[in-house]
Chain A
Amino acid sequence: MEQNVLVPQPHRILNIRRHTKTECTFRVACDTEPGFGQFFMLSLPKVGEAPISASGKGRGYVEFTIRNVGLLTQAIFDLEPGNSIFLRGPYGNQFPVKQFENKDLLIICGGTGMAPILTMANHFYDHPEVCKSVHIISGFKNADAVLFRDEIEKFQSRFHMITTLDSEVVEGFETGMVTAHIGKVPIRSFDDYNIVIVGPPVMMHFAALECVKNGAEESKIWVSFERKMCCGVGKCGHCKIHDTYVCLEGPVFNYSDAKDKLMD
């Protein structure tokens, strides 16, 4: 019988790590290792299915950082370690990590947009020799919304790390939108570089414009899209933008291709 990719398989929840009132990371037993920036279709029978990026991976597990915003995520939040969650995937393309080697790298992320870049950031943390330098600008609404505090602290020791809160003034954090801090990164003095931007569409739009204003070339900027998906394999049609299917050709796009797509 032909393999039916639309049927998900149960995977056990190993542990749950709470970040904020509405955000948790679920570690799930899984032997399939996702690439940097790839996503899985997560589902609970009776409730539904949605695409979720892998925020961590290791031997025998994958992690998903989920914000509780809808019916499915609420149902997932009701689960405990030992319960099953249903998975299929991974799907989509990856951040072109090979291209990032021996160059400077700037990662700009907003809110849960930190999740898709986390496996990549951890990779560079474990292999500090790979990139010339790593800069991260990570923005959150306020101090209560800060995710991945452990990782942020860890990254500070090896990366140029700016963590900023949109409007709140709190010790240990910068204040202002991520765009306000892009000027601090010496993009013009970089020999060769790449910039990764992940967050809400509006944030990606303005962050990219700001990078360009600060001397970045469009073709060196990478973004990751979030779209409603009901299949993940190019059939349901929800993630189509122009002649592109985000689940197939994305979620990672070069900004020079994606800038027109950000408008839709």
Chain B
Amino acid sequence: MINTGKKAEFKQLMLNRRNLYHLFSRLFQKEVDQAFYDQLRAITFPSHREENALTEFKDALLRLNEYFEYDAGESLDDLAADYAKTFLGAGSAQGAAAFPYESVYTSPKHVMMQDAWNQVCDIYESKGIERNEESADLLEDHIAVELDFMAFLCDETSRFTETLAGLEEQKEFLNRHLLNWAPGFCLDIKVHADTEFYRMVGQLTTGFLQLDSFILDQMINARKARTMCSQSFRMSRARMDEILTELQTEYRIYAPRLIEDRGSWEDGGLVRYQEIGALDDIVLDRQSDFSMKEVLYPVSQTIFRFDENSCVETVSSDPKGIILFARPCDINGLKRLDNMFLANGGMSDVYYKRMRDKVKIFLMECPQSWESCFCVSMGTNRTEYYSAAFHLHGEEILLEVKDAEFIDYFGGETPADYAPAFIEENQKKVRVPDIKDPSRLREIFNLEFWKTCSEECISCGGCNTVCPTCSCFDTVDFLNQENSRKGERRRIWSSCMLPDFSRTAGGNIARKRADQMMRFKTMHKVYDYKARFGGNEHMCVGCGRCIQRCPKEISFADTINQLSEEVDRLNAGQPEQE
């Protein structure tokens, strides 16, 4: 059975608020008809909740319940006439009214379509909202439209995984806009309205908005407080599986998984990142052959579809978030990918960002340092960047939760004293070359060493494929069918170890030979990246997958160490050894 935890409760609260905002929006959108009147009457408004006492909402609710209990003798026609008088200034009002537009209440001259109207138009546009037909004749800062927008935001927050950001967005709009003018407007309703119904609507609206602001504050503060300190828990594997099932209503969960009939090694199968359903799907006793990068940055990805006359960007409609069970080296690798795809050139890559924004990291504690690991040398054995950290390889699951989003799922488990342990020593140790000065690069470039270290290389590009930080791609056009006019452009992982990587159409190849390509790759991983992006981190994260993958058993760790020795010799002014 699926445990309906706090997450489901939160979601329901958002949907309830959405419905209330819809209801209030409808009150102002047009006159009350029979169907809506019946609907209002059927609702039992709760007047007993404690926080209601804080606002005039409670008083309004009592009046509302009384109104429907003891027929006030106001017909639908009476209400329609009063609607026209109060909000449109019709009939006996002679033009005086409670005009339901924000800019009337906030502009110096009390007229329509001023700053506030511009502001809300921009906000709706930034959300990609198209006005529906029912409200299309109302200006964007009409109270019904603003209330409707709050309903939209509530709905969005109920569906998205970034709840804190969603709540803050709601609070911002509520405080900056609705609460900035609606209370004054509601007081005016009391002045202009003849019916008890609309006088009550005025009081009720103010009360509701104030109460909702209070509830939002409480939720935001609670979430922020949780973000400040992490919490640790323990649980059985069975319980963990239940929570994984619950998480899957909101997230796709990816982890290393065994693909049995693939792979070239005798130990059988290939371990790659794929969606998992339960704990037993996760491969824990060996390193994944591929890194997790393929989840965010697929091997082949359609970037747009085309026919002969136009190109249309592909869009992702999957509302689910992504949870990645990842090792520290790969989490550090993600920062390198972020630099390329989000920062390089001062522009972020749409396709990468789309996936990246959804990603939450579940750190998997490493049970051991594997044969080719050299993360400690690269400083990538540790990380702080995770939503939750797990000790998965035991009878009992231990975890630390840092991200408030996940307290909703794990918060009910038995408290524990746990923080993830990191690998502190690898068998393999690597020393990065000490290149003190870019003027040294020419000498390094001309080293004979590059030829010796790449003698065995067959330029297959396998090392690039399994690397968590290699990000280069080619673009290739595909047709839906042979002779079809329609097709798509995809981007596909590329490899700097292939001669075609640097081939221009004219036939010029910047790097033809294995030694040139090996030099290009090596220098990128342990010098160029850091020279470009600064900081203390090299591109290589020492996961050692390229060493495992190489069909000629070339060790990239050895290559880096040998290069360091060569650079030492250059630094000492000694000639290269034959």
Contact = CB atoms under 8 A, between A and B. Distances in A.
Interface residues of A, number: 46
B304 interface: yes
B308 A69 contact: no
Contact of B528 (A7, A230, A243): A243
Interface string A1-18: 110111111100000000
Contacts of A143: none
B531 to A, nearest CB: 4
Given A9-B311, A243-B531, A237 B504 contact: no
Nearest to A44: B477
A11 to B, nearest CB: 12
Contact of B520 (A200, A228, A243, A264): A264
A228 B529 CA distance: 20
Q: From DSSP, what is the main secondary structure of chain A's interface residues?
A: loop
Nearest to A3: B350
A86 interface: yes
Nearest to A233: B345
Nearest to A8: B311
A201 B353 CA distance: 36
A69 B508 CA distance: 11
Contacts of A19: none
B484 to A, nearest CB: 9
A132 interface: no
Q: What DSSP secondary structure best describes chain B's contact surface?
A: mixed
B360 interface: no
Interface in B154-206: none
B446 to A, nearest CB: 8
A206 to B, nearest CB: 15
B553 interface: no
Given A230-B473, A243-B531, A67 B345 contact: no
Interface in B278-317: 303-304, 306-313
B128 interface: yes
Given A237-B471, A260-B441, A264-B516, A45 B489 contact: yes
B103 to A, nearest CB: 28
Interface stretch (A46-54, A97-105, A167-175, A211-219): A46-54
B278 to A, nearest CB: 36
Given A235-B340, A243-B528, A248-B344, A10 B309 contact: yes
A130 B496 CA distance: 44
B347 A226 contact: no
Contacts of A1: 128
A248 B503 CA distance: 19
Nearest to B442: A260
Nearest to B511: A264
Interface residues of B, number: 56
B505 A70 contact: yes
Contacts of B505: 50, 69-70, 72-73
A227 B504 CA distance: 6
Given A69-B507, A227-B510, A245-B344, A236 B474 contact: yes
Contacts, number: 128
A96 interface: no
A141 interface: no
A240 interface: yes
A84 interface: yes
Given A45-B489, A46-B487, A227 B502 contact: yes
B304 A6 contact: yes
Interface string A162-182: 000000000000000000000
A215 B340 CA distance: 41
Interface string A37-65: 00000000111111000000000000000
B90 to A, nearest CB: 42
Given A4-B313, A227-B510, A238-B502, A233 B347 contact: yes
Given A45-B477, A228-B503, A235 B341 contact: yes
A108 B158 CA distance: 64
**Most A C-beta atoms less than 10 A away, residue of B128, B308, B479:** B308
B345 A46 contact: no
A6 B473 contact: no
Interface string A229-261: 011011111101111110110000000000010
B489 to A, nearest CB: 7
Interface string B437-479: 0000110010000000000000000000000000111111101
Given A9-B311, A235-B340, 5 more contacts: A2-B348, A45-B308, A48-B477, A233-B347, A240-B524
30 contacts: A2-B353, A4-B313, A4-B350, A5-B347, A6-B303, A6-B350, A8-B311, A45-B308, A46-B477, A49-B489, A84-B308, A201-B508, A201-B510, A227-B510, A228-B501, A228-B503, A230-B473, A230-B491, A235-B345, A235-B349, A235-B473, A236-B494, A237-B471, A237-B494, A238-B474, A238-B494, A248-B344, A260-B441, A260-B442, A264-B510
9 closest A-B pairs by beta carbon, nearest first, are A234-B345, A237-B472, A70-B505, A45-B306, A243-B531, A243-B532, A234-B344, A243-B528, A4-B350
Interface of A: 1-2, 4-10, 45-50, 67, 69-70, 72-73, 84, 86, 200-201, 226-228, 230-231, 233-238, 240-245, 247-248, 260, 263-264
